[in-house]
Chain A
Amino acid sequence: MPNSLTIHRLIERLNSGDVTSRQATEACLNRIQSIDRELNAFIGFDSEEALTQADVADKTRANGGEGALLGVPIAIKDAIAVKDHPLNCASKILGDFVSPYDATVIRKLRNAGAIVFGRVNMDEFAMGSSTENSSHGPSRNPWNIKHIPGGSSGGSAVAVAADECVASLGSDTGGSIRQPAALCGCVGLKPTYGRVSRYGLVAFASSLDQIGPLTKDVRDSATMLQVIAGVDDRDSTSVSEAVPDYSSNLTGDVKGLRIGLPREYQVDGLDSEVKDSVNSAVECLAERGAEIIEISLPHTEYAIATYYIIATAEASANLARFEGVRYGARVNGSDPQEMNSKTRGIGFGEEVKRRIILGTYVLSSGYYDAYYLRAQKVRTLIREDYLKAFEEVDLIASPTTPTPAFKIGEKVDDPLQMYLSDIFTISCNLAGLCGISIPCGFSKHGLPIGLQLQGRPFGEPDLLRCAHTYEQATDWRNKKPKLD
């Protein structure tokens, strides 16, 4: 079925006329129809509009038109603005908000001919690692529906892994693309900070957020990045660095590539199956000529604390705009203050409230220096650790997560434990690096395990080349969850 194809296979078949975009889109919609009741990856979609887009793409192709994603159905995390479509961030507070504008990435997808369809589930305002914090209810892991799919871009990962779409967009603030990709067995790329415009991505933590693709293989990841990358005059933090040709760089050759293994990543709580799978993956790369070097990232143990101060502080301001004045589900009050407080008290879920409160606290008078300013300084130390390491190595390899997907409900009452599971993914955002998660095995219970590679800022070519080499040397990408 076309919905299970990768982008590049689907494009081949669309070009050869074996399949139409309408058929591919219908296949995705049918797949959603048949399995999404169980998985809950989609918050909403407009079948008719999707098919109209598909027909336009088919016509364009028939007339000799081209596009890197012409006719390819892509699902979008519910944190990215799509004109004339609802935008909820899996929160009650946005009510029946409909975006009057397209995010820059959406504009770029459309220019490349993509079928922008369906809003996928997430942790509310991207705050979470399990997609359990959603006003739309939790998404489920397609490999075992009793387990979480990871988060916050859980819906994006589920939709790709379960073939409900061909590829999707997620956003990554502390691992929110890589972690669900690892737990669902697909490829998740967090580009370098500034590589992809954030305009139209509802901000969680502005200095950490980055949009990226979730795909079925590494080549698709390169294709998607090619389309969405580049400087944007609507985002002051986007970088004008030239966008290289990512796909042509997928040579399958890692000879001489230096891969670092951080000593500090041997943490308590690292699952032995995860550890073994990642070790085998590293060996596989070594066999193909990569040089494996032990490195040190001495401030790793401070990353989570640093992250939760900076991310919540930024979030406390970013989410202040949701107060019921200009949009969203207002709860009435006798004065604006009461209206704001009730609207936010009822509209936000508990994790979001927890983080806003924490962020407000660390910025408040008397605590700023002790928490926020100190965290910003430790962030410098963490960043310097990486820049130093990247003098010795080209990439850093590690597990994406310490364990495979845990059970739904297992950690909801212990936010701190939930936060600690982000240990391997968080520093990448603090330091503004690029990172990718690719499948590297399964637990004995059949749950996917992810290998994470991190690269220096704008080091996506090396990152993708290495990930692609490993992927092609193994067969993990061809395993599909049994859902029917």
Chain B
Amino acid sequence: MEYEAVIGLETHVQLKTHTKMWCGCANEYGSEPNTNVCPVCLGLPGALPVPNAEALRKTALTGFLLNCDVPSYAKWDRKNYFYPDNPKNYQLTQLDFPSTVSGCVEFEFGGGVGKVRVNRAHLEEDVGKSFHFSDFSGVDFNRAGVPLLEIVTEPDISSPDMAYEYLNALKSILEYGGVSDCDMEKGQVRCDVNISVRQKGDTELGEKVEIKNMNSFSGVRRAARYEISRQMEVIESGGELVQETRRWDDDAGITDGMRTKEDAHDYRYFPDPDLMPHRPSEEWLAAVREEVVELPLARKRRFMTSFQLPESGAEVLVADARLGDYFEEVSGEGKNPKLVANWVINNLRAKLVETGISIADLKFSSTAIPELVGLVEEGQISSSIAQEIFADMFETGKDPKVIVEEKGLSQMSDSGDLEAFCRDAIEANPGPVDDFRKGKETALNFLKGQVMKASRGKANPQVVGDLLVKILNG
């Protein structure tokens, strides 16, 4: 019997805002416990929520980035359940009128393009964080009330690898759009996985198993792999699958059923009376639309076609959006974007990493790298001199031409000047000269190196080679 997996993902992403969803407390990771809290996010009696406009803007922006519709009416609902990390014991969320609906994510997968439809991306609030000790638990509410976007896919994912690639694509879209930092270490992205298996060709879905609260994409892939084979085994052995919630045990590499009470899921949703509906106006939507950026996949393709960059280079520039932006900025006028890209990817990136300086703080102007590339192309400087100039301009912010001038680094091509260097080298190295005359071609390279050294790299190697041969044979 052949089986196929049907996977849907619910991804919770913390939005990048200064403050929380309903109050002016900082949306900040890593503070001392219970210091970014106030009557509102602690659920003190009498406190009321007021929605953060920026969170709504970022939600609509995400909608546009995920090709969603942004409906003209959205409202808030209370989802009622008791949990120590849930300060009001209801979570504010969007049940039937979410801020964005019906989109899709496209990404490279299996040599082609994978497509996963997005049912909705709705805004809700995060809960506090629990810490478990030997005989009690403790709760920190700093995270409570942080704006959380829940992105729900249709069950379009057919394999654990596809789930993995979808998640990576989603993450880079959200990072690109500036809506979330998606920092996994800080728990900014969490995932619920819905998995069922069915016989290939069946149209009906099997019993759905939900694996809750995954915090790594590779974990999602491993858990999905495990769960699919578990479900297939159950069916094969004549057992029956039940709809349930399971937990992934990463150490053991298995999922196991969670102890759930029969009516734990009666959330008693109802419209929140403290919050008014949101009806985005055309102007509001237009302002959000202005912030829409090109998505990574589209950008990569454009880099490859418009600038003739190799795939690997384009990927580097797409993965680091700011580096990509910089490349676009400086290559705009340049004649050879491919070479500019090489400088950006190899030299600039290494230097930024090495020094910890950010692109915004670069001292040299945006014309400097193309200028440097031009000097090498025109043969005015050698590529090793170019390295030296780059280090200098990174340090001082001076233009490459200025540095060449000041340090007298311009390449020596005049044979009159170079002849003296060549004669010195021949005189000082009788051994290699002898070797060359005996037919050992590589000895010429040694002599060439000596000349280059003596000229402090300024000599044009081509001219030096020709001159040495001429003298030695002459």
Contact = CB atoms under 8 A, between A and B. Distances in A.
Direct contact between the two chains A and B in their complex (CB within 8 A): yes
Interface of A: 79-81, 87, 89, 94, 97, 99-101, 103, 198-203, 205-207, 233-237, 313-314, 316-317, 320-323, 325-327, 336-337, 340, 360, 363-365, 368, 372
Given A81-B44, A99-B45, A236-B51, 5 more contacts: A101-B39, A101-B47, A202-B45, A321-B43, A321-B89
Given A317-B80, A320-B89, A236 B274 contact: yes
Interface in B93-147: 137, 139, 141
5 contacts: A205-B273, A234-B48, A314-B273, A368-B268, A372-B270
A320 B45 contact: no
B50 interface: yes
A314 B269 CA distance: 11
A89 B45 CA distance: 10
Given A199-B47, A317-B90, A326-B42, A364 B268 contact: yes
A360 B268 CA distance: 8
A337 B270 contact: no
Contacts of A198: 48
B273 A234 contact: no
B258 to A, nearest CB: 15
Interface in B71-86: 78, 80, 82-84
B239 interface: no
Contacts of B300: none
Contacts of B427: none
Contacts of B45: 81, 87, 89, 94, 97, 99, 202-203, 321-322
B88 interface: yes
Nearest to A80: B46
B42 A235 contact: no
- Residue among A80, A237, A372 with the most chain B CB within 10 A? A237
Best-buried of A235, A317, A340 by chain B (most CB within 10 Å): A317
Interface in B34-64: 39, 42-51
Contact of B50 (A103, A233, A317, A323): A233
A202 B273 contact: no
A325 B84 contact: yes
A61 B324 CA distance: 66
A94 B139 CA distance: 20
Contacts of A97: 45
Closest 3 CB pairs of A and B: A320-B89, A207-B273, A363-B268
Contacts of A205: 273
B129 to A, nearest CB: 14
A31 B409 CA distance: 98
Given A206-B273, A321-B89, A340 B44 contact: no
B275 interface: yes
B46 A201 contact: yes
B87 interface: yes
Interface in B264-307: 266, 268-270, 273-276
Given A363-B80, A363-B268, A364-B266, A234 B87 contact: no
B50 A236 contact: yes
A49 to B, nearest CB: 20
Contacts of B90: 317, 320
A100 B39 contact: yes
Contacts of A316: 80, 268
Contacts of B274: 203, 206, 236-237
Interface in B252-270: 263, 266, 268-270
A326 B84 CA distance: 9
A236 B44 contact: no
B46 A323 contact: no
A87 B44 CA distance: 11
A323 B84 CA distance: 9
A417 to B, nearest CB: 28
B81 to A, nearest CB: 9
Given A236-B49, A320-B80, A320-B89, A327 B270 contact: no
B48 A202 contact: no
Contacts of A199: 46-48
B46 A234 contact: no
A320 B270 contact: no
A313 B45 CA distance: 17
Contacts of A372: 270
A323 B47 contact: no
Contacts of B44: 81, 99-101, 326-327
Interface in B140-156: 141
B275 A317 contact: no
B156 to A, nearest CB: 29
Contacts of B276: 236-237
Nearest to A341: B82
A361 to B, nearest CB: 10
A205 B276 CA distance: 15
Contacts of A314: 270, 273
Contacts of A80: 46
Contacts of B269: 363
B82 A81 contact: no
A325 B130 CA distance: 12
B293 to A, nearest CB: 31
A200 B268 contact: no
Contacts of B84: 325, 336
Contacts of A360: 268
A86 to B, nearest CB: 12
Given A206-B273, A236-B49, A364-B266, A340 B43 contact: no
A368 B89 contact: no
B270 A363 contact: yes
A236 B21 CA distance: 13
A379 to B, nearest CB: 12
The residue among B43, B48, B83, B141 with the most chain A CB atoms within 10 A of its own CB is B48
Nearest to B34: A326
A234 B50 contact: yes
Contacts of A365: 263, 266, 268
A234 B80 CA distance: 23
Contacts of B89: 317, 320-321, 323
Nearest to B265: A365
A240 B270 CA distance: 26
B355 to A, nearest CB: 44
Nearest to A313: B270
A321 B87 contact: yes
A206 B274 CA distance: 6
A364 B267 CA distance: 8
A234 B44 CA distance: 14
A103 to B, nearest CB: 6
A320 B46 contact: no
Contacts of A234: 48, 50
B77 to A, nearest CB: 10
Nearest to B37: A326
B266 to A, nearest CB: 5
